[in-house]
Structure 1
């Protein structure tokens, strides 16, 4: 996975929506300006309480968004999807998703 992307001066830095698979197979959706760092926090037991019952296993989906507001909107949309649809999203794009339009 790549490092955090720096935005040129005057432009908003990109944000990302991501999915993490827990040991029990559940999917966690979140946003971050550095999804790899956030995943490491989830793995270390810091961050979301979601992972207290079943540890984070893999960062399975990352989608770039132009800004934080866009990432929040996309996160809400993904959270509304059924698990089957989330699995299809992962199968189609995995951790290499392109920026949303």
Structure 2
């Protein structure tokens, strides 16, 4: 089993804007954002909501994806968020079917 420890994530801010970031410890990083010690952009924009996360095997892969997402339009970011949610929802539905 591979150990993925590099994350790219998107937060939705109170004002509806999106913040994209990279970390090796997602829960710690989210806590930093919530208490105002995260990125300067997210300070004062809380509450924040995690709307996307993806894991990568290497820092290089994650940093490239973070950069790519930051270059996207709002509509393109929303499409990524929606697609990931659908995949997640489909995975939960498949798991429930297996549990029957």
The two structures have a TM-score, normalised by structure 1, of 0.76
RMSD (Å), alpha carbons: 1.9
What per-residue deviation string (whole Å, max 9, x for no partner) do you get for residues 59-94 of structure 1?
Answer: 110011111111100001000110111011111103
Q: Name the SS of the counterpart of 2:54 in structure 1.
A: strand
Equivalent of 2:7 in 16, 21, 28 = 16
The answer for unaligned runs of 5 or more in structure 1 is 1-5, 8-12, 97-101
* Higher Cα Rg, which structure: 2
User: Where in structure 2 are the equivalents of 1:44-83 lying within 5 Å?
Assistant: 44-83=35-74
Indicate if the aligned counterparts of 1:42 and 1:56 stay in contact, CA closer than 8 A. Answer: no
Once residues 40 and 47 of structure 2 are traced to their aligned partners in structure 1, the CA distance between those partners, rounded to angstroms, is: 11
* Count of aligned residue pairs for this structure pair: 86
Answer yes or no: is 1:85 the counterpart of 2:76.
Answer: yes
Q: Name the SS of the counterpart of 1:54 in structure 2.
A: coil
Q: In proportion to residue count, which structure has more helix?
A: 2
Shift of 1:40: 1.2
Once residues 56 and 72 of structure 1 are traced to their aligned partners in structure 2, the CA distance between those partners, rounded to angstroms, is: 25
